[in-house]
Structure 1
Amino acid sequence: MRILSPPNPIKTPALFNSILRLRFNSLRSHCFNSMAIPPPKSAMASAVDNEVGLARRFWIKFHRESVFAMYTPFSLSLASGNLKIETFRHYIAQDVHFLKAFAHAYELAEECADDDDAKVAISLLRNAVRVELKMHDSFVKEWGLHGAKKAAINSAAAKYIDFLLATASGKVGGVKGPGKLATPFEKTKVAAYTLGAMTPCMRLYAFLGKEFKALLDPNEGSHPYKKWIDNYSSESFQASAAQTEELLDKLSVSLTGEELDIIEKLYHQAMKLEIEFFSAQSLVQPTIVPLIKEHNPAKDRLMIFSDFDLTCTVVDSSAILAEIAIVTAPKSDQHQSENQIARMSSADLRNTWGLLSRQYTEEYEQCIESFVPTEKVVFDYNSLHKALEKLSDFEKKANNRVTKSGVLQGLNIEDIKRAGERLILQEGCINFFQKIVKSENLNAIVHVLSYCWCGDLIRSAFSSGDLHELNVHANEFTFEESISTGDIVKKVESPIDKVQSFKDILKNCRDDRKNLTVYIGDSVGDILCLLEADIGIVIGSSSSLRRVGTQFGVSFVPLFPGLVKKQKEFIEGRSSNWKGLTGILYTASSWAEIHAFILGY
């Protein structure tokens, strides 16, 4: 177990000590209701929020949805350059309907705006839509998409258009409706609501354009959809998206908090309808997303493995256990009864945890230095495995120091469980696991492999999401009448222990189905499992993991570009099979990416 996770910025003694100072100076044993709940925003954070406009805040808040749009089979195939022309023709046909609705919505918004500058800005944006419609005409000519403009609208496009025009007509947010807008202020609200329903679409297309543009390979020849990508990544379109956002900010200045909440809901709804639109594009070609696309429960088994600390959590579990120990520890002058397990005072615990933390971090750095090659080597799993035996010995010695120190004595199992239930998990983590285990169309099993000293903490953390089906493999506290003795039943202490548990689980699996294994982790302790799995996904930005992996020849590939490359190979006739021990690990910035890749929307 990492007493305090090394080199990664979120895993430093400074953070550990600051957590202790923030939490322990004022908390006492009766304060567990506030455990693991984030403190109020700092003055600096509030200042940043004030500087960021409304539209930008919404984009940041709902960025998860943009990831799902990017990972649709349609978007991946378009980015890969192998989207069938018939599918693109159908998409263009639907997009023409979209653009006409946009032009009409801008017209209605312009009528409602009570500011001359706003009217001019809306007029310019409406003209930009007309230019985009002309561009679609050029698509029709260039790709022979005749009939694209006359195709009937599909249900996904119709849902967004109906939603947009209803908003632009004043039928949402308690406004009276078309022809009944009594005051200029009511009209301004409608204009703001309309921009709230349009802005996410503009920003989403600008986002996709830039993402796809970055993937164009000049050595591969002409990308068939380069013109589409160039349009949405162009400075002019990026400027239009920014102008739409600025206009939304301007129109929203005088609105109340309740009215701003309405705009936020409209923004979010528009994002969801956009994902449905991209998801609804009918493909007549094989794709590698979502991963479960070809999953057959009768023949296949999806096995998801995940680390816990800082993969699923925001704070390392050792910090939480330290919090419980110090908060519940007796004061130096407090009498302890003879039948109680002897405990250190809270002051002594603080000092001891600090010493353990500093020693762990310093010696961890030295341990890494002792086995990392000075020059990069060709990937060799066995050499990496051998080198990590040194780290395994180090982790076990560190755990022995913890148990001998007595800092874990006297913790109450109920306090641990309450803390677990209130533990903050990474955004999207719980939702991903819920969808995995609750799906009736998946034959899937989830295993959590963790250095955590106390498996009860993990089980409690997931119980809040009703995830009792997760299999937890971790160390365990020993208890006497619900009070910890300070000893640990050591099951998973090191990278070697983790990968052995991984192999044992697979070995004990019935051979009645084909297993597809995915491992999700964040640290050096996960690297062997990440490499052994058919698909290894790194979440977070651990510098120590990157350094060790890179020096041992491991390649870290951003997930979406990696999928684009694999989609190209798939269409070219090469196998789409995933297999481990290739030396390639995929990196994801969020659980949304993992969810979108494996499960889709």
Structure 2
Amino acid sequence: MGGVVDGGMARRFWIKFRNESVFAIYSPFVICLASGVLDSDSFLYFVSQDVHFLKAFAQAYELAEEYADDDEDKIAIRELRKGVLKKLKVHDTLVREWGFELPKESTLDNAAVNYTDFLLATASGKVEGEKFPGKIATPFEKTKLAAYTLGAIAPCMRLYAFISKEIQALLDPDDSDHIYKKYIDSLSSQKFEAAALQIEDLLDKLSISLTGEELEVIEKLYHQAMKLEVDFFSAQPNVQQTIAPFSRAHDPREHNLTIFSDFDMTFTAIDSSALLAEIAIMTAPKADLNGCETHLARMSSVDLRTTWSILSSQYTEEYEQCIESILPSETAEGFNYEGLCKALEQLSHFEKAANSRVIQSGVLKGLNLEDIKRAGEHLILQEGCRGFFQEIVKDEHWKTDVHVLSYCWCGDLIRSAFLSDLNVLNVHSNELDYKESITTGEIIKKVESPMEKLQAFNDVLKGCSNDGKHLTIYIGGSVGDLLCLLKADVGIVIGSSSSLRRLGDQFGISFVPLFSGLVKKQRELKEGGGSSNWKGLSGILYTVSSWAEIHAFILGS
């Protein structure tokens, strides 16, 4: 396999490993930098490392230019190297233009050494899975090594450009008080972006003639470089109190941390009700050759599929109608929690009626518990979800309670999804009724509505010890999660539920991207004299696009 797909290989790699960049964005250093409250010594230590990076880039480009077989490629790499050498010459001048004076001497950061050593080893032909001869002679070998070298540089440039743009989006163009604005402006300039694009385009061009195995080597180099760069940002010394990672910003001797999460479409990539229906359909008896149904107690697979289709369509249609009916005609001027509670009581009636229809239909009758558990074990979860919970339960800093609150009809399905490697979850959901491991079709109703989710949330906290203050985080993405999201000290919305947004907007809820919310809170932390001020019922919910953001915020890298 040779060549590059549309969009370019470097672009594909960035998209594939972009979640890892989140751990750099959410590092204490970047959050403090973005908020403008970063200690100046920490900043100067960070920018002093640029010299070491630039020297390594210059050496790597020099080798890559030598390797490149095509004259145009040689010229392009030479221009990139000239740009690096120019930056080296004016580095101290630039720092002074930003308003700072570098110390005369700077020590080399261990995390910086790890990246620069990796880069120069790659440029010298020391690449895992490759055996270059003592003297690299053939044009193909040279081109390949030039591509490998650029593969180890590209993510560094893209990560810096990405971070600076994320910060730039939060800055007021007229704000002259942000002491790092000139530095951020320099990294988010068109010139810097053009250099990042030039490296990516050149990497794509050099890779055109490579085989599938060689492209896999570049991908591994790109990924390794990305990880080392993220480690560099995460390792930056920071002397001040920070808002994140959340689990490090609070003393476990003074606080207990309880994490709550929804299950369907928060943990999972599919809805559990549809999965249970599919198990019923797949294990149901077939109609006989004459079109007559078997005389077993269960419906045939054909009838089950038809019945489920009707139930599903009816639920979707009536749910939308219910949401429309509970939306107030006018947007609340401020956060209206009481009005939201009254509206969601109407939704509760709808959810309970829908569950009653499912029981009466018989679609959940005759399922084998082992089939349900097997489906749970193979359930596809959202990327990064399992890894986060594996880390949070073994985190030595905190003894964290984790609770799943779900409308799911079957707690066994949830428990089996985590049984193999995470058996410490407390599951609060409905349960299927069994007779000798076969479902009767009844649902043991425990959590059917937003009000019952909130009751389960409150019951957990009542059962906790009274030693110290409790901090609560709720993660969810549906309308049924709204009351818990708002009651928690930190409510995190994952996903893109339009119903949740519409309802929230009408009742005065503010939806704030988590990163920008942390930057604001970091600023408030300094202004408020060291109080992080997380508390429930503020009317503010924080939005994320991935579990990587949640992981980076709560645990760090």
* Cα pair 1:171 1:178 within 8 Å, conserved: no
* 1:110-149 correspondence runs (5 A): 110-134=65-89, 136-142=91-97, 145-148=100-103
Give 1:242 shift. 0.8
Residue equivalent to 2:426: 471
Distance 1:560 1:295 in 2: 19
Between the aligned partners of 1:379 and 1:149, the Cα distance in structure 2 is: 53
One-letter code aligned to 1:519:
Y
Percent of pairs with identical residues: 67
Residue 154 of structure 1, CA deviation:
1.6
- Given candidates 369, 394, 418, the residue that maps to 1:462 is 418
Aligned to 1:591: 547
The answer to whether the aligner puts 1:64 opposite 2:19 as a matched pair is: yes
* Shift, 1:319, TM fit: 1.2
Q: Does 1:428 align with 2:384?
A: yes
1:89 to 28, 35, 44: 44
Tell me which amino acid in the other structure corresponds to 2:280: A
Is residue 25–residue 31 contact of structure 2 (8 Å, CA) maintained in 1?
Answer: yes
Q: Does 1:206 align with 2:161?
A: yes
Q: Distance in 1 between matches of 2:409 and 2:111?
A: 49
- Return the match for 1:350 from 305, 315, 322: 305
**TM-fit CA distance, 1:134:** 4.5
Q: 1:150 to 1:555 in 2, by over 3 A?
A: same
- Counterparts in 2 of 1:584 and 1:227: CA distance versus 1, 3 Å: same
Structure 1 match to 2:441: 486
Residues 55, 249 of structure 1: 8 Å contact kept: yes
Match of 2:214 in 1: 259
2:330 maps to 1:379: no
Code of the residue aligned with 2:463 in structure 1: it is: N
* Aligned counterparts of 1:61 and 1:468: Cα–Cα separation in 2: 30
- Going from structure 1 to structure 2, the CA distance change for 1:505 and 1:135 (only over 3 Å counts) comes to farther
- In the TM superposition, residue 421 of structure 1 has moved relative to its aligned partner by 0.8
Tell me, in whole angstroms, the C-alpha distance in 1 between the residues paired with 2:28 and 2:89: 27
Correspondence 1:269 to 2:224: yes
Q: Which residue of 2 aligns with 1:188?
A: 143
Per the TM alignment, residue 92 of structure 1 is displaced from its structure 2 partner at its CA by 1.1
For 2:178, give the aligned amino acid. Answer: H
Residues 248 and 397, structure 2, Cα contact 8 Å, conserved in 1: no
Q: Which moved more, 1:529-538 or 1:178-187?
A: 178-187
1: distance between equivalents of 2:111 and 2:248? 21
User: CA–CA distance in 2 between the matches of 1:250 and 1:337?
Assistant: 63
- Tell me which residue corresponds to 1:44: none
Sort the Cα spacing of 1:176 and 1:366 in 2 relative to 1 into closer, same or farther, 3 A: closer
Q: Are the aligned partners of 1:93 and 1:149 in contact in 2 as well (CA < 8 Å)?
A: no
Distance 1:143 1:452 in 2: 55
Alignment size in residue pairs: 550
Find the residue that maps to 1:446 and give its secondary structure.
strand
Question: Does the 8 A contact of 2:407 with 2:448 survive in 1?
Answer: yes
- Structure 1 range deviating more: 497-506 or 374-383: 374-383
Q: Does 1:299 align with 2:254?
A: yes
Deviation at 1:149, TM superposition (A): 6.4
* Contact kept? 1:92, 1:148, Cα under 8 Å: no
Contact 1:295/1:442, CA 8 A, preserved across alignment? no
Counterpart CA distance in 2 for 1:135 and 1:536 is 46
C-alpha offsets along residues 406-441 of structure 1, whole Å, 9 cap, x if unaligned?
Answer: 000011111111111111100000000000111222
SS in structure 1 of the partner of residue 464 of structure 2: coil
Distance 1:56 1:89 in 2: 31
Structure-2 residue corresponding to 1:104: 59
Are 1:533 and 2:502 an aligned pair?
no
Deviation (angstroms), 1:259: 1.2
Could you say which residue in structure 1 is the equivalent of 2:239?
A: 284
Partner of 1:327: 282
Give me the TM-score of the superposition, normalised by structure 1: 0.89
Most deviating of 491-500 and 119-128: 119-128
Q: 1:591 to 1:174 in 2, by over 3 A?
A: closer
Contact 2:242 2:249 in 1 (8 A): no
Instruction: Tell me what 1:43 maps to.
Output: none
Aligned counterparts of 1:119 and 1:140: Cα–Cα separation in 2: 31
Matched, 1:439 2:407: no
| Equivalent in 107, 111, 116 of residue 156 of structure 1 | 111
| 1:149 to 1:128, Cα distance in 2 relative to 1, 3 A | farther
8 Å CA contact 2:98–2:183 kept in 1: the answer is no
Partner of 1:62, secondary structure, is: helix
SS of 2:5's partner is helix
Q: Give the distance between the partners of 2:71 and 2:173, measured in 1 at CA.
A: 45
**How do 1:216-255 and structure 2 match up within 5 A?**
216-218=171-173, 220-255=175-210
| Deviation at residue 138 of structure 1 after TM alignment | 2.5
Give the one of 510, 520, 532 matched to 1:576: 532
Match of 1:28 in 2: none
Matched residue, 1:394? 350
Q: Secondary structure at the match of 2:383?
A: coil
Q: Secondary structure, in 3 states, of the residue corresponding to 1:516?
A: strand
Deviation of 1:179 after TM superposition, in Å, equals 5.1
Alignment partners' CA distance in 1, 2:217 and 2:105: 35
1:415 aligned partner: 371
* Cα distance in 2 for residues equivalent to 1:84 and 1:512: 34
RMSD: 1.7
Q: Structure 1: give runs of 5+ residues left out of the alignment.
A: 1-48
For 2:435 and 2:7, the matched residues in 1 are separated by: 53
* Amino acid paired to 1:443: K
Q: Encode CA deviations 1:319-343: one digit per residue, 9 max, x unaligned.
A: 11111011111112289987x6x11
Matched letter for residue 407 of structure 2: Y
User: For residue 64 of structure 2, what is the amino acid of its counterpart?
Assistant: A
Cα deviation, 1:541-584, whole Å, max 9, x if unaligned, reads 10000000000000000000111111111111252120000100
Report the residue type matching 1:549 in the other structure. G
The separation in 1 between residues aligned to 2:459 and 2:94, in whole angstroms, is 55
Task: Quote the Cα distance in structure 2 between the aligned partners of 1:76 and 1:264.
Answer: 29
**AA in 2 matched with 1:250:** K
Q: AA paired with 2:81?
A: R
Partner of 1:509: 464
Aligned positions of 1:5-44 closer than 5 A: none
1 CA distance for matches of 2:130 and 2:500?
Answer: 54
Q: Answer whether contact 2:286 2:302 (CA < 8 A) is retained.
A: yes
Asked if 2 retains the 8 angstrom alpha-carbon contact of 1:522 and 1:538, the reply is yes
Q: CA deviation at 1:295?
A: 3.4
Distance 1:445 1:585 in 2: 21
- Give the letter for the 2:308 counterpart: W
**Which deviates more from structure 2 when the two are superposed, residues 119-128 or residues 269-278?**
119-128
> Gapped runs of 5+ residues in structure 2?
none
